[in-house]
Amino acid sequence: MINQLLFVSFLFLTNGVGLFEQYYPLADEIAQSMTLQQKIGQTLQVDITSFNDDQGNTHYEQISQHFLGSILVGGNGCPDGRGNIIASDNCFAATNANWRDVAQKSLKQKVVVNVPGHGETTINLLLGTDAVHGNQHSVGAVLFPHNIGLAASHNVENYIKAAYWTKQSILDCGFNFAFAPTVAVSHNPKWGRFYETQGADPKFIKEIGRAYIKELQDDDGKKIKGVLGSTKHYFGDGATYNGYDEGNCRVENFDVFYNNNIQGYVGALEAHTGTIMVSYSAINELAMSISDLINVDLKQNQKFDGFIISDYNAAIKVAYQGLPTTHTKMTIEDAYTKSFNAGMDMQMVDGAVGWYEEVMNNIIAQGRISAERLNDAVKRILAVKLAMNLIDVPQTLAKKHNYTQEKKEEEKVEQKDVSNDSNDAEYYDALRSAKESLVLLKNKQNLLPINKYKITNVILLGERLWSFKGEFKRVYQDFDNIGAQNGGWTIRWQGFNGNEYWSNDLKTSSKASSILDAIKSRFNTANIYYIQYSDPTNLQLINQQRGNFRNEIINNQDQFSRENTLIINTLAENPYAEFMGDIDCEYCKSQDKYGCIYNNWLNQYLPDEQPTTLEINIGDYEKQIINIVRQKDVDIPVVTVLFSGRPMIITNPLSVSTAFVAAWWPGTAGGEAVVQSLFGEYLFKSQGKLNTLPVPWMRNMYQISNYPIYGNEVPQIEDPLFEEGFGLETRPQNSQ
């Protein structure tokens, strides 16, 4: 293993007092006055669902009983409409109003510290939530494209708008802490979090980190007016060997690795990010959760003055998991000791608070974590809270430290006045982002843009038959699948297929649109051909109706020509998140599957065994319909739209298609964005680097095998199918 610190090119910020450092003296005096149990509690962020009893009632009083510094909503948590948070498949009650109810109940739980000579100081709670592509836990929310799509726009303004609307929605829910932005550099598409990455240009990622945090936190140099950000995952999470989630980065030249992967954090630090979340991954088999880089790089050299937070159960993984991160395991006491001493200030855990308290009390009593180190962690957490007006400071103490206390109405979360104009503005910002994220990979004979006034027949194809554990469940039509447009981290951790969460009032509030929705809004008199299943869960009936549709196409063959007919074929990945999206992990092929975390969880849309390829093909039924339509005119155009979280192996669909659009996961406005681009209402690559690939697009799986390894140069995919920066343009004259 190389000496990781030997090659570091440290990057310094300005020498002035930082946004949070200015509150260190006051925070330190409060911390020094706290009991040991209060200090331990402040270093803990707990999944709120762990406070539920067997009947699903959330016992909020446990927050103050354990003196907690923060709680979080786990990936599958949602309110039940009765004031509780549950982990459930049914999240229809997860409205902003019900989230506000949860927030209000949580914020009533406070930690009271008696500061000698000044009296009671009340510490309030940080309420954390994921915000991967908007306020995704809230039903009816407008959702932006995932990061890899935003990166294809190469437009920082889209990130600023995403941060602004995410901030507004989270505040409307009563929460104050967002786990965003991810600033990982894109490397291997086999990684299940590839869609969370920001492309391959570190300079652009630095700009993104700065702009997003600045808008999200909205600080004025003294106080945070917006939502606390958490820049993540420090660092190199996007550069693991073979793209294994929670994997290991193979680094031979640390200087090259560091300079290419650190830039997003540099930008975020320039914007005063309040927290940095540490990655599960390792560098040369040293887990980042226990790496001295946290102290030496972030705190000492980059002068980071906020607090460091772990990822979910990170120390437990360091102790017990081993591969795919590292071959090393240790006791939980060693893991927490190493993590805290490396600079981790707050631990994110799923529950078992009493057990955590016991472990911490033991290792502190043994002197393995010093009082000075514990006080430093608490001081940093309190300094951030002071910058957020989350600590009620007695007047004498505030005067002593020249602290300005902004008064807030006690224990009340106000609903923001969200006007129709505001909702429209959010939608149009998301729509613009989605349009600018699309990349046109093929446009034979300049098919696009299509003159919609000449089209009298639109044929919509693209279906997937979903089975779970060998039992057929239903058919999904991806031209009418808003869930597939949004991917993972949508409502719940692994996301959803279908339109259940985008129907009726929820569809109205989110203004969500599928390709079918957008086509119907434009073609009142044209024939729109697609199968309207009477029961999408009945396989026998599905096959029967497919046969009927095939006959309908055959009977209308004489009407179809290259001038009046358009086939739109949609391909889509199933939604996934984190390691459930990993592809072709060697540990999943072994008999004991040690190191295969894919098999430790469940995504109902994915097969029991991890897939080994990113190849995606047009289905046999779709090929059959295309051949029938083209039987009398082989040049009837086929436009293929791919909804995916990453580049795929597209040899087959690319050869069949007249035009091909990589749409990524474009969010709730994705259907409208795609259709506007097909008919010239939006022109691809109208200016600058809009609509261009943020990463190279590989030809085959071989090109991303044993990749990346950091030597003396930044690793690159050799001879890709499409280079980074590729994207075809369309011109307005074709639409006339």
Residue 180 pLDDT level (bands cut at 50, 70, 90): very high
Q: How far apart are CA 485 and CA 437, in angstroms?
A: 13
Structural tokens at position 3: 């000496």
Is 419 a residue whose pLDDT tops 70?
no
For residue 7, the model assigns a pLDDT of 33
For residue 719, the model assigns a pLDDT of 97
pTM attached to this predicted model: 0.95
Tokens 């989605």 belong to residue: 434
Structural tokens at position 469: 């554990």
Q: How far apart are CA 10 and CA 2, in angstroms?
A: 17
CB atoms within 10 A of CB 592: 7
For residue 410, the model assigns a pLDDT of 46
Mean pLDDT to the nearest integer, 312-330: 97
Mean pLDDT of the chain: 95
Digit-coded pLDDT (tens) for 643-684: 999 999 999 999 999 999 999 999 999 999 999 999 999 999
Tokens 């090259």 belong to residue: 256
- What is the percent of the chain with per-residue pLDDT over 70, rounded to a whole number? 95
Terminal C-alpha separation, the chain: 63
Collect all residues with Cβ–Cβ distance below 8 Å to 723 and sequence separation of at least 6. Answer: 693, 696
For residue 14, the model assigns a pLDDT of 40
Is 43 a residue whose pLDDT tops 80?
yes
Mean pLDDT to the nearest integer, 360-378: 97
Tokens 């034979």 belong to residue: 444
Q: How far apart are CA 294 and CA 339, in angstroms?
A: 9
Digit-coded pLDDT (tens) for 402-414: 999 886 554 455 5
User: What is the Cα gyration radius of the chain?
Assistant: 26
Q: How far is CA 628 from CA 454, 462, 478, 549, in A?
A: 21, 16, 21, 11
For residue 2, the model assigns a pLDDT of 35
Domains in the chain: ranges and CATH: 21-400 (3.20.20.300), 434-464+471-576+616-682 (3.40.50.1700)
For residue 734, the model assigns a pLDDT of 47
More confident residue, 602 or 60: 60
CB atoms within 10 A of CB 371: 12
For residue 408, the model assigns a pLDDT of 56
Q: How far apart are CA 166 and CA 413, in angstroms?
A: 17
Q: Are strands 126-130 and 70-72 parallel, antiparallel or unpaired?
A: parallel
Q: Which of 351-360, 420-429, 705-714 has the lowest mean pLDDT?
A: 420-429
Q: How far is CA 187 from CA 99, 307, 717, in A?
A: 36, 28, 9
Q: Which of 31-45, 77-91, 171-185, 418-432 has the lowest mean pLDDT?
A: 418-432
Mean pLDDT to the nearest integer, 631-641: 97
For residue 89, the model assigns a pLDDT of 79
For residue 736, the model assigns a pLDDT of 43
Q: How far apart are CA 50 and CA 402, in angstroms?
A: 39
| SS3 assignment for 73-124 | CCCCEEECCCCCEEECCCCCCCCHHHHHHHHHHHHCCCEEEEECCCEEEEEC
Residue 355 pLDDT level (bands cut at 50, 70, 90): very high
For residue 261, the model assigns a pLDDT of 98
Q: How far is CA 294 from CA 4, 233, 248, 327, in A?
A: 12, 12, 17, 21
Mean pLDDT to the nearest integer, 450-454: 96
Is 634 a residue whose pLDDT tops 80?
yes
Residue 8 pLDDT level (bands cut at 50, 70, 90): very low
Are 729 and 684 in contact, with CB atoms under 8 Å apart?
Answer: yes
Residue 88 pLDDT level (bands cut at 50, 70, 90): confident
For residue 601, the model assigns a pLDDT of 86
Digit-coded pLDDT (tens) for 547-579: 999 999 999 999 999 999 999 999 999 999 999
Digit-coded pLDDT (tens) for 499-519: 999 999 999 999 999 999 999
